[in-house]
Amino acid sequence: MSEQKRKQKMWSLRYPARDAEADASVRRLAEETGFSEVMARLLYTRGYKSAEEVRVFLQQEETQLHDPYGMQDMELAVKRIRSALEKGEKIAIYGDYDVDGVTSVSLLYLYLTSKGGDVGYYIPSRIREGYGLSEPSIDRLAERGVNLMITVDTGITANAEIEYAKSLGIDTVVTDHHECRADLPNACAVVNPHRSDDTYPFPELAGVGVIFKVICAIEIAECRDQGRSELDGVRQVCKDYADLVAIGTIADVMPIVDENRLIVKLGLQLLENTKRPGLRALFDAVSDQSASSRGGKKRKINSGFIGYVIAPRINAAGRVSNASIAVELLLAEDPETARTYAEQLCELNLARQVEENRIAEQAYKKIEKEIDLNRDRVIVIDDDTWQQGIIGIVSSRITERYGLPSILISFDGATRGYPAQDDIGKGSGRSIKGMNLVEALTACEDSLVRFGGHELAAGLTVRRCMIEEFRARINQYAIEHLGEDSFCACLDADCEVEAHDLHMNLATEISRMEPFGVSNPVPTFVLREATVLRVLPMGGGKHTKLTVQKNGIEMSAVWFNVNAAKLEIELMDKVDLLFQLNVNEFRGITSLQLLIQDLHPSQAYEAEYQLEKERYEQIRQGGELTSEEDLIPTREDMAQVYTLLRREFRSGKTVFPIRRILMLLRAHGV
């Protein structure tokens, strides 16, 4: 399989083409709901095929929080935590250094301290300690006199470490959402909806979602004891903490369906007018437009803003410094302290971006030199200098660029000036649809020190001497479990649209489908045979702005992170666009804008071009012309071609691609 084939992005439409039954259902749905047919198609593709189903989806009447006691060991967890609070035991919250872990730690800390608990938290250093529990960190907790350790977003595979904690007199309650192994830790309670024996109806909670359910369960227990309504207790938890749960859920790319959808919706409502000094300070710090440039309107706090603007800054603390900075921001009680932490996070994020780009460039060079892209199915590369907190992001970029699973391994800090075969490297990997990365690592586990994670993202540690064996084995696993089609990057779109479908009313209709995320993605459309009128660089050449036209309607489009100079399109080209619809607000003016996700030469034009090219070859080799074809150029045609070529030559062009000449001639009516 060629590298070019892997880089090619295929488009897949969710709405069936030329399906008379589906079209009739959509027209009926549009009539019954009062929505446009495009909106009706979006709802139809998401499974809402009647007016009642649409009403329930948009109003979220079907979504209720499930009983937290439906999770295995929840009763045991609540009993042990309440006992620690009643006895005044010293409690330590042990978390992860990503956004999910930071919000989990902050949520549980705020809740337990509100109950008068003697609480501290511990997040290991990504650089010095790596992921998860370790004996040295448990020693530190023992020195502090900790009686109960509660893990959040971690701990499900820390069997040996939890046994070690028990030997030091520390009880453990595990709360996690990562994939489980067959043998669970021997803890007081193990709360994880992914347990094989768990029957909880919605297992796709983030780590912060799991600890949220634990807090709800504690509140329910207290309400029962006090004769209060259990529902009132859960409502109060949502009112106090749904904002933190929403941030962690969005950042950890959890499906925004079922109770996640309700939690995120409630959380975003709280975030619109957040009372937390830390979040208020962070929102202010990242504002890249003044109130006047937005026409006096506040920035809309939606899942995109949280996922692409806020989450990276919270994540930056754990990636390049210490995650406790992010926790302290969320715990801050006064604006000045919050402002200090917010500024630190923004500075760390800038440093992270610089380091990410440096590592990415080095990684691309290594791939070109060391990896056979026609043979390898998983990219595995390593380096002694890569910062461990950054390699996961770079792995995502590599997987997107090459359409292959990738694993980056860093020995930073392990070599101490010289490499040794027993050096321990820390790796981070990203996968593609069809290859569960944890299952792949499990098949190679005897060549690894440890590993853990999700289906599409995982971490690992490996000895230097085992890298070649690991690379060979995981590639063999991919060969056995993935077909050729799995390696072609595919972009999903909801449906095709025409230019007249794109109006402000549609954007308003789409906004009712929020919050967006996995399983309820931002609607994506395909517009075919649009003519390119203008191509302009934006952001110093980093981005591209286009003006396109279809059926006399001009539209503005932006393609972020694509350099205009590198686009192989010419003015008057006909292109197919895959895009999202955006409402752009600038200096008080509101307008529609297409956010391009991908662009292809028009399929219809390409097909016509190929037919014409084939006919030309037939004629060139002696084939006869027919009178109906009207292919013999007139004197006027020849004059226009000459005039066109002369104008192009005078403007400095000495190369005349056939496609461009054809487009220019057609634009002039030839």
> Would you tell me how many other CB atoms lie within 10 Å of the CB of residue 201?
10
Q: Which of 222, 252, 272 is the last residue of a domain?
A: 272
Considering the domain architecture, whether residues 643 and 543 belong to the same structural domain is answered as no
Q: Which domain holds residue 334?
A: 274-370
Q: Which of 463, 488, 513 is the last residue of a domain?
A: 488
Amino acid at 158: A
* Rg from Cα positions in the chain: 28
- Model pLDDT, residue 4: 43
* Cα 603 to Cα 200, 535, 576, 600, 616, distances in angstroms: 47, 20, 7, 8, 20
Considering the domain architecture, whether residues 378 and 366 belong to the same structural domain is answered as no
Does some domain include residue 454?
yes
Considering the domain architecture, whether residues 141 and 182 belong to the same structural domain is answered as yes
- Model pLDDT, residue 613: 77
Distance CA 662, CA 670 (A): 9
* Cα 437 to Cα 329, 391, 421, 456, 576, distances in angstroms: 33, 16, 25, 6, 34
**Total domains in the fold of the chain:** 5
- Model pLDDT, residue 125: 86
Distance CA 229, CA 418 (A): 64
- Model pLDDT, residue 367: 95
Considering Cα of 24, then 38, then 562, then 353, what sign does the dihedral take? negative
Report field, pTM of the whole predicted structure over 0.85:
no
Considering the domain architecture, whether residues 554 and 503 belong to the same structural domain is answered as yes
Considering the domain architecture, whether residues 126 and 247 belong to the same structural domain is answered as yes
Residue 652, phi then psi, degrees to nearest 5: 100, 0
CATH no. for residue 40?
Answer: 2.40.50.460
Q: Tokens 């369960």 — which residue?
A: 217
Does some domain include residue 355?
yes
The per-residue b/e assignment along 138-174, b for 16 or more CB within 10 angstroms, e otherwise, is beebbeeebbbbbbbbbbbbbbebbebbbeeebbbbb
Q: Which of 272, 307, 342 is the last residue of a domain?
A: 272
Does some domain include residue 612?
no
| CA angle (230, 105, 112) in 5-degree steps | 45
Does some domain include residue 624?
no
Considering the domain architecture, whether residues 340 and 482 belong to the same structural domain is answered as no
Predicted confidence (pLDDT) per residue in 277-328, tens digit: 999 999 999 884 334 344 445 678 999 999 999 999 999 999 888 999 999 9
Q: Are 497 and 13 in contact (CB under 8 A)?
A: no
- Model pLDDT, residue 553: 95
Does some domain include residue 63?
no
Distance CA 560, CA 545 (A): 8
Q: Give the chain's residues under pLDDT 50.
A: 1-6, 288-296
| 406-410 vs 424-430, strand pairing mode | antiparallel
Considering the domain architecture, whether residues 579 and 539 belong to the same structural domain is answered as yes
Considering the domain architecture, whether residues 111 and 231 belong to the same structural domain is answered as yes
Distance CA 241, CA 244 (A): 6
CATH no. for residue 318?
Answer: 3.90.1640.30
Considering the domain architecture, whether residues 638 and 588 belong to the same structural domain is answered as no
> Can you tell me whether residue 144 is helix, strand or coil?
coil
Considering the domain architecture, whether residues 90 and 216 belong to the same structural domain is answered as yes
The per-residue b/e assignment along 649-669, b for 16 or more CB within 10 angstroms, e otherwise, is eeeeeeeeeebbbbbbeeeee
Considering the domain architecture, whether residues 575 and 651 belong to the same structural domain is answered as no
Does some domain include residue 385?
yes
Is the peptide bond prior to 16 cis by the omega test (within 30 degrees of 0)?
no
- Model pLDDT, residue 5: 42
Does some domain include residue 400?
yes
Considering the domain architecture, whether residues 480 and 503 belong to the same structural domain is answered as no
Does some domain include residue 621?
no
